[in-house]
């Protein structure tokens, strides 16, 4: 079970949004590389990064910030935001990203996900961000007509490494992860699922370690780590004891 600390990039800075709204951004660190190094020093083993500007633009925007992080840390990094074609997938993997996350293109261009997953086994994850059960795209600016489960099922035999499932209604609000919906999704597919959106306290870490959540690969934590609601040492100790 992995606890992924999150770095969301906007204008080259490390921020957190509320419910995916770019107008409701809080800047937590002007230096993403320093933040990434702090997370590694605290003992985290896998970093989750999102290029927020890239998600809206449909192409990488914060590449310089991502590359600066890769230079100073050794832990693996999974990256999403603006990854809409095979060329971008290849470029990021060649620069040292461990796993790319395809979101909007997973809805609009499923063939891309299948091609990328086949070409780069274990290196491609799908990001499914749901609002009222329906998947949102284009940096959450638009809501599609399909459910997260419908999209996840498209990739059952494609070799996708993980599904990152976010409940937009909870994201950045510290209301706790929607464990029921996340675990229901995990129980319905064979692809490992990562929980995201609203992780609020050590209680969420404990919920992630319950037997019913055994199929999950882990969870992503953002704001709760930045504002001190979760003590990294305590969270990582709990996870280690549970393994």
Cα(110)–Cα(104) distance, rounded to whole angstroms?
Answer: 10
Write down the catalytic residue from 51, 53, 129, 204.
129
For 221, the token pair is 């934590």
Cα(208)–Cα(224) distance, rounded to whole angstroms?
Answer: 15
Q: Which of 158, 180, 179, 166 is nearest to 222 (CA)?
A: 166
* 8 in active site: yes
* 171 in active site: no
Cα(205)–Cα(202) distance, rounded to whole angstroms?
Answer: 5
Determine the straight-line distance between the first and last CA of the chain, rounded to whole angstroms. Answer: 8
**Beta partners for 16?**
26
Query: Are the beta carbons of 192 and 161 closer than 8 angstroms?
Result: yes
Plot region of 174 (φ>0 → left; ψ -120 to 50 → alpha; else → beta) = left
As annotated, the active-site residues are 8, 129
């Amino acid at each position: 079970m992995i606890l992924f600390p999150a770095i969301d990039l906007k204008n080259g800075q490390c921020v957190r949004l509320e419910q995916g709204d770019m107008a409701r951004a809080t800047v937590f660190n002007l230096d993403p590389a320093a933040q990434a190094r702090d997370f590694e020093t605290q003992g985290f083993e896998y970093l989750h990064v999102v290029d927020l500007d890239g998600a809206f633009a449909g192409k990488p925007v914060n590449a310089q910030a991502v590359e600066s992080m890769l230079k100073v840390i050794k832990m693996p990094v999974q990256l999403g935001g603006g990854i809409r074609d095979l060329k971008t997938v290849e470029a990021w993997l060649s620069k040292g990203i461990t796993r790319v996350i395809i979101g909007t293109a997973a809805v609009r261009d499923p063939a891309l996900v299948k091609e990328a997953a086949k070409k780069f086994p274990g290196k491609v994850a799908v990001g499914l961000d749901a609002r009222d059960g329906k998947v949102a795209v284009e940096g959450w600016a638009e809501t599609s007509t399909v459910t997260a489960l419908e999209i996840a099922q498209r990739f059952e035999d494609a070799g996708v490494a993980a599904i990152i499932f976010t409940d937009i209604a909870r994201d950045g609000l510290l209301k706790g992860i929607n464990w029921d919906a996340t675990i229901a999704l995990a129980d319905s597919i064979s692809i490992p699922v990562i929980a995201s959106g609203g992780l609020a306290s050590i209680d969420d870490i404990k919920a992630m370690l319950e037997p019913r959540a055994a199929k999950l690969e882990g969870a992503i934590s953002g704001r709760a780590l930045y504002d001190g609601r979760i003590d990294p040492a305590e969270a990582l100790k709990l996870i280690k004891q549970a393994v």
